Amino acid sequence: MKKTKVINSQISTLIAGMGHMDWLSIGDAGMPVPLGTPKVDLAVDKQLPSFIDVLKNVLEELEVQKIYLAEEIKTENPDQLVAIKSLMPNVEIEYVPHSDLKKDLSKTHGFIRTGEMTPYSNIILESGVTF
């Protein structure tokens, strides 16, 4: 049995297959995922699991050099923005319109759907290198 923090086999496979500058996305229960983008659906109930819990788990194994967030998170979900920044205080953030973030999901290795029910709780993680 896998010993590290990410024990979900689909998420572990996605992370293991990523190289430098590849993208992985995590989002709320309402985010529309483009056809063809692999989706790992973890949503069980409202807020279960939460966006932040899943993000924390993924960050245990994925080196992240940059993140992409919807511009709207600044005004529509500032508490979530604070939580994200606290997990990755030294990671570059690029803000884009939510409509662009949705389109960019087609460029990701996969989308992890959570049970999160707060607006704009979506992120694209750009992988870094560990050396």
Residues marked as binding? 28, 98, 120-122
CB atoms within 10 A of CB 115: 19
Residue with tokens 């709207």: 72
| Cα–Cα dist 58/103, whole Å | 22
- Give Cα 8 to chain centroid, integer Å: 15
Of 7, 9, 17, 20, the active-site residue reads 20
Interstrand relation of 23-27 and 111-113 (parallel, antiparallel or unpaired): parallel
Let me know: does 12 contact 61? Beta carbons within 8 Å.
yes
CB atoms within 10 A of CB 70: 23
Q: Nearest Cα to 6, choosing from 56, 66, 65, 48?
A: 56
Point out the annotated binding site for substrate.
28, 98, 120-122
Residue 20 annotated in active site: yes
**Which positions are annotated as active-site residues?**
20
